[in-house]
Amino acid sequence: MTVDAHPDTGRRKAELAANLAALRGRMQSACDAAARSIDELVVVAVTKTFPATDVRLLAGLGIRDIGENRDQEAAPKAAVCADLPLSWHFVGQLQSNKARSVAGYADVVQSVDRARLVRVLDAAAGATSRRLGCFIQVSLDPPGGAGRPPKPRGGAEPGEVSALAAAIASAEHLDLCGVMAVAPIGADPRPAFEHVVEISANLVREHPTAGAISAGMSGDFEAAILAGATHLRVGALLLGRRPPAR
């Protein structure tokens, strides 16, 4: 790669380094308040809409986990970054017909929310001889149903988690990691995160090694740390503002 030859690369690297240092400072304060160690936390840098050159710079700054939410964008980015020591987390809603592509580069799918996806991901991982970590995405929005709009962001109902976990745990090529959630937009995230932590506690009773909790984004990661999150999915705070979601 010749990215270092780009005149703006040094400036962008300094910007990302400053953003990362600020994030780590705020994470440390939240950990102090929660009497937790920052070493328990994994930062998944969500690089959607940003170029592969940013992924490369983040890797140089010590980031090891990258999050993407669209296969069309993630697949080529992961391909040009294949030389880097990174774990790729798919965090977006995943259509079954994209599962094979995603299983070709992702190490973790954080958005598993239905049994059909479990079957398709297991088959796809098996076909590429890879193992795939899975988080069950839990919906914290009010239930959909008659008269209500469909769920905007996917996710299983809390009552579906146990059956999905059993399906993932018994799949040959999948590893059950834990739960993932996105807090409802525009509301206090704390009750939502407390609910996820409670769901996680129930899950861990049946699956002791599935204790990961992916919760918290740029706007609410401190509340997630206080609640007990293990994985923070941080985009804008690290990389800058994105154009509005498509």
Ligand X SMILES: *Cc1c(COP(=O)(O)O)cnc(C)c1O
Tell me the closest approach of the beta carbon of residue 146 to ligand X, in angstroms. 27
Q: Which CA distances in Å does 236 have to 180, 222, 241?
A: 19, 15, 5
Left, alpha or beta for 36 (phi > 0: left; psi -120 to 50: alpha)? beta
Pick 129 or 223: Cβ nearer ligand X: 223
Pick 189 or 228: Cβ nearer ligand X: 189
Tell me the closest approach of the beta carbon of residue 235 to ligand X, in angstroms. 3
Pick 1 or 18: Cβ nearer ligand X: 18
Tell me the closest approach of the beta carbon of residue 102 to ligand X, in angstroms. 14
Helical axes 52-60 vs 71-80, angle rounded to 10°: 50
Pick 69 or 230: Cβ nearer ligand X: 69
The answer to whether residues 188 and 220 touch, using CB atoms and an 8 Å cutoff, is no
Q: Could you give the CA distance from residue 191 to residue 207 in angstroms, rounded to a whole number?
A: 24
DSSP state of 148: S
Residue nearest ligand X (C-beta atom): 235
Q: Could you give the CA distance from residue 39 to residue 41 in angstroms, rounded to a whole number?
A: 5
Q: Which two tokens stand for residue 62?
A: 């010590």
Tell me the closest approach of the beta carbon of residue 121 to ligand X, in angstroms. 17
In degrees and rounded to multiples of 5, residue 107 shows phi and psi of -95, -25
Q: Could you give the CA distance from residue 98 to residue 111 in angstroms, rounded to a whole number?
A: 13
SS3 188: coil
Which spans of this chain sit near ligand X (rule: CB under 6 A)?
Answer: 46, 48, 69, 91-92, 182, 217-219, 233-237
Q: Which CA distances in Å does 8 have to 1, 14, 46, 63, 239?
A: 15, 10, 21, 20, 15
Pick 137 or 200: Cβ nearer ligand X: 137
Tell me the closest approach of the beta carbon of residue 182 to ligand X, in angstroms. 6
Tell me the closest approach of the beta carbon of residue 233 to ligand X, in angstroms. 4
Q: Which two tokens stand for residue 104?
A: 């070709």
Pick 48 or 56: Cβ nearer ligand X: 48
Tell me the closest approach of the beta carbon of residue 180 to ligand X, in angstroms. 8
Pick 46 or 225: Cβ nearer ligand X: 46
